[in-house]
Amino acid sequence: MKRVLVTAGARPNFMKAAPLLRAFASSGRSDLDIRLVHTGQHYDAALSRLLFDDLRMRAPDHTLPAGPGSHAEVTARILMGFEALCVSLRPDAVVVIGDVNATLACALAASKLGVPVAHVEAGLRSHDHSMPEEINRIVTDSLSTWLFATEPSAMENLAREGHLARGRAFLVGNTIVDSLVVALDHLRQGRAATAAPASPYAIATVHRPSNVDSAEVLEGILDGLGDVAREWPVILPLHPRTRARIDGFGLADRLDQPGILASGPLGYLAFLDLVRGAALVATDSGGVQEETTVLGVPCFTLRANTERPITIEVGTNQLVPPTRSGIADAFSRLLAGEGKPGRVPDLWDGHAAERIVARLSEVL
């Protein structure tokens, strides 16, 4: 019996883990013991239950008490907890996903114990080392035995860093798209139908430290969204971190602007239901850039860079400065009919997890 630990700790990573669990279950490999480990990096009991229900995902086999804290504190707690779990379970392989602190911590613990690591979503690079996620990506790839990439630019990055010479990097597609395909089927069956404003409307998400930890930047974004809201209603589900910063900076009045429809976090299906009907999505989330590309919805990424350039090269995404004037300029172009058409990237077909599991089954 070969034991594989699939790790996930942040909301987007569960969307990428769910297809892997399904693919392992349908692989026909009765000699594989697949365990899901919730690293606890982002943990809210109610939101976790909703997310797992939306993804039709089984409960975690193991949960680590990561708790809140600085990057170092969270990483250290997960590192210690996951090391102890690996010593106890003696896995034959560990799967890590994405670029959060839990990704790095689990890869480091496993590699120090000599356990092979598979990195799903390998090779993505923003080339911006001020982003904590960029450090996590680079270090995790250097520790991993198998590297599974979502897009050609990721393979180019891995080649430039010398990883392709090992013959263990594979272009497989995007598991978040696998979950999206399943979710769209659920929505067609009437699950999680959401009350949306009359079209056209926009939806926005903002959570990255570079956007919410500066009062000046956050104010500019909220004012830019307020300008959009003069034309179209703007649905604004607020990450707890963002809500805390808005209150702390004294910007709560920006949520009272006409047309701004602020709320708490939304469930996965409810959010996707709104995104697929939107005329515009403004975000700083990597996964939302990918989802809008597949759905064909115009996307403003409120950042100076993206580690997912294929969403710009062939998708509907464009980089927009996270300022009031940047948002206004981009929105004016969209209203003038200069929206960016796009297509779905190759291999983003809903079968990425199957390709990953097929590769891992060969080596295991």
Position 49 pLDDT exceeds 80 = no
Local confidence band at 274 (pLDDT 50, 70, 90 cut-offs): very high
Position 172 pLDDT exceeds 70 = yes
Signed CA dihedral, 225, 229, 235, 236: sign only: positive
Q: What is the mean pLDDT of residues 170-192?
A: 91
Q: Which residues of 111-125 are buried (b: 16+ CB within 10 A; e: fewer)?
A: beeebbbbbbbbbbb
Local confidence band at 341 (pLDDT 50, 70, 90 cut-offs): confident
Q: Is the preceding omega at residue 200 within 30 degrees of 0, hence cis?
A: yes
Q: DSSP state, 197?
A: P
Q: Could you count the other beta carbons within 10 Å of the beta carbon of residue 101?
A: 27
Average predicted confidence (pLDDT) for the chain: 94
Least confident of 47-56, 200-209, 291-300: 47-56
Query: Does residue 356 contact residue 23 with C-beta atoms inside 8 Å?
Result: yes
Q: How far is CA 340 from CA 151, 153, 300, 311, in A?
A: 20, 20, 10, 11
Position 295 pLDDT exceeds 80 = yes
Q: What is the pLDDT of residue 133?
A: 94
> Cα separation of 130 and 126, whole Å?
10
Q: Which of helix, strand or coil describes residue 2?
A: strand
Local confidence band at 44 (pLDDT 50, 70, 90 cut-offs): low
Position 316 pLDDT exceeds 80 = yes
Percent of the chain with pLDDT over 70: 97
Position 60 pLDDT exceeds 90 = yes
Percent of the chain with pLDDT over 90: 82
Q: What is the pLDDT of residue 119?
A: 98
Local confidence band at 283 (pLDDT 50, 70, 90 cut-offs): very high
Q: What is the pLDDT of residue 47?
A: 65
Is the pTM higher than 0.85? The answer reads yes
Cα 297 to the center of its chain, rounded Å: 17
**What digits encode the pLDDT tens for the residues 231-249?**
999 999 998 889 999 999 9
Which of the residues are catalytic? Answer: 207
Name every residue whose Cβ is closer than 8 Å to that of residue 174 and which is 6 or more positions away in sequence. 121, 150, 151, 290, 345, 347, 348, 352
Name every residue whose Cβ is closer than 8 Å to that of residue 291 and which is 6 or more positions away in sequence. 176, 177, 180, 272, 275
Position 323 pLDDT exceeds 90 = yes
Q: What is the pLDDT of residue 355?
A: 98
Amino acid at 20: L
Q: What is the pLDDT of residue 50?
A: 80
Name every residue whose Cβ is closer than 8 Å to that of residue 28 and which is 6 or more positions away in sequence. none
Query: Does residue 301 contact residue 318 with C-beta atoms inside 8 Å?
Result: yes
Domains recognised in the chain with CATH numbers: 2-174+348-363 (3.40.50.2000), 202-335 (3.40.50.2000)
- What phi and psi values does residue 232 have, to the nearest 5 degrees? -130, 145
Position 262 pLDDT exceeds 70 = yes
Local confidence band at 42 (pLDDT 50, 70, 90 cut-offs): low
Q: What is the pLDDT of residue 191?
A: 64
In this predicted model, which residue has the larger pLDDT, 268 or 42? 268
Least confident of 67-71, 89-93, 270-274: 67-71
Q: What is the pLDDT of residue 272?
A: 95
CB-count exposure of residue 85 (10 Å: 0-12, 13-18, 19+): buried
